[in-house]
Amino acid sequence: MRRWIDVSVPVGPGMTVWPGDPELSLSRFASIETGDVCNVSQILMSVHAGTHVDAPLHYVDGGGDVTQVSVESLLGPARIISIRGINQIGAPEILQHNPQPGERLLIKTDNSEREWWRLPFDPDYCHLTPKAAQELVAAGVRTIGIDGLSIGGPNDEGEHVHKILLSNMVTVIEGLALNDAPLGQCELICLPLRLEGGDGAPARALIRPSISC
């Protein structure tokens, strides 16, 4: 039987966040140990920490929130491709993989060589360039995911990448853990919290490789 592989990162205090975003904290609000009838925890975190889905509202003024992101774009057949040895993924690297209309495409990069979510933020992570984003839009790709905290770079180009994708209704999944995911066709399940007004939301993502993988 084909097994499901969890491709979301663990969430907990001390995990890597985007510079300037709130650090994640998890604290006990009620405790059996102190006389309460049950344990209740509370969490504080950025909606763009760990594995998460970006909504158009993240970068598009007046864009839809995460409740308006198409569920169909996050469920169904997907393809995992490998782009290694390069930090700035450009149009040629994308075109080499022949992206298809309506495709859900997950990119495995050198980010997957380490557990980046446990390490200090590294601005040299692998990401798309604006021209790569434009090629994905031109190809009609429905969903794009990457194994790093952001689909775009840590500079102005990163803003452009997000705007190109989100303004064209390409669903963006960031923060995937693809180290154990085989390349090729798979089934994808990625469900973000239904967070009203959210410009993004944490998500649990799983893939099940196709028989041929």
The Cβ of residue 82 has, within 10 Å, a number of other Cβ atoms equal to: 14
58 catalytic? Reply is yes
Catalytic residue, from 48, 52, 58, 162: name it. Answer: 58
Residue in 30, 25, 3, 4 with CA at minimum distance from that of residue 13? 25
For residue 181, the tally of other CB atoms under 10 A from its CB is: 21
Q: What is the pairing mode between strands 184-192 and 200-209?
A: antiparallel
Dig out the tokens for 109 from the structure. Answer: 């990069």
The residues assigned a catalytic role are 58
